[in-house]
């Protein structure tokens, strides 16, 4: 089973791993915010489309506009994003934005964050996120803490740090596996042995969680 996990689900969330690849001449800069509903807040969840070559298949399979996510916190008066890449790390917000496709990104927040996320909860969430910094990206996508992928990091930090479950755990068979681009990757990764009952969490599932609300979007979908 460990070897089979390296296959198709690698396609579904491997953009988290590849999101760490910088484009050689991409300037790191923050564009003026647009459609800002209110200031950013610690614990906000950020989404973007990675520039990896497999992003399209990921979006089709998970029925999501986004393929990478991370958690926003403020440290030493600077906004940073904790993300599951290789290795798991915190990234300055401006650098994180610059890595995304056309620097587009979206910020969401729990609808009841002011009541449910106390300052103590935020500190506990930060501590949980820091536990994973330096770990390898989880190429086998198991639900252990040995290695971590992007949406797994977001899910576990919220669940363990604040007792809040964000996103819906799914089985691989729930994804759209019939599109040509997806079938090609299935064949390439799995052959004829697809672990359809494997439990996974995707960036799309977190993005669509009804308990989250839109805070910021710097592009039109």
May I ask the CATH class of domain 4-21+31-217? alpha beta
- CA dist 140 → 13, 155, 188, 199, 207 (Å): 11, 17, 16, 12, 22
Under 8 Å between Cβ of 71 and 129: yes
Give the span between the Cα atoms of 159 and 145, in whole angstroms: 14
Q: Which two tokens stand for residue 143?
A: 């639900």
Domain borders along the chain are 4-21+31-217
Q: pLDDT in tens for each of the 221 residues of the chain?
A: 544 443 445 555 555 666 665 443 333 444 444 444 568 999 999 999 987 655 566 677 777 788 899 999 999 999 999 999 999 999 999 999 999 889 999 999 999 999 999 999 999 999 999 999 999 987 656 788 998 989 999 999 999 999 999 999 988 778 777 877 777 766 776 677 776 777 789 899 999 999 999 999 987 55
Give the span between the Cα atoms of 215 and 219, in whole angstroms: 13
- CA dist 77 → 95, 97, 187 (Å): 16, 18, 47
The angle subtended at Cα 62 by Cα 52 and Cα 108, nearest 5°, is: 85
pLDDT digits (tens, 9 = 90+) for 54-96: 556 667 777 778 889 999 999 999 999 999 999 999 999 999 9
Model pTM? Answer: 0.81
């Amino acid at each position: 089973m460990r070897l089979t996990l390296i296959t198709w689900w690698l396609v579904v969330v491997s953009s988290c791993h590849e999101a760490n690849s910088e484009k050689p001449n991409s300037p790191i800069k923050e564009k003026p915010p647009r459609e800002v509903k209110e200031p950013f807040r610690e614990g906000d969840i950020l989404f973007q489309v990675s520039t990896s070559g497999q992003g399209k298949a990921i979006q089709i399979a998970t029925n999501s506009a986004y393929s990478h996510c991370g958690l926003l916190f403020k440290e030493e008066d600077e906004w940073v994003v904790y993300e599951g890449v290789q290795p798991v790390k915190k990234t300055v917000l401006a650098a994180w934005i610059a890595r995304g496709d056309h620097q587009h990104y979206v910020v969401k927040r729990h609808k009841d964050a002011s009541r449910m996320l106390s300052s103590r909860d935020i500190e506990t969430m930060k501590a949980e996120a820091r536990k994973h910094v330096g770990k390898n990206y989880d190429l086998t996508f198991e639900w252990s803490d040995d290695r971590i992928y992007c949406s797994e990091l977001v899910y576990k930090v919220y669940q363990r740090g604040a007792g809040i479950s964000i996103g819906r755990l799914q089985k691989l068979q729930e994804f759209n596996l019939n599109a040509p681009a997806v079938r090609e990757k299935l064949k390439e990764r799995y052959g004829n042995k697809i672990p359809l009952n494997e439990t996974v969490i995707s960036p799309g599932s977190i993005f669509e969680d009804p308990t989250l609300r839109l805070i910021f979007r710097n592009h039109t979908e």
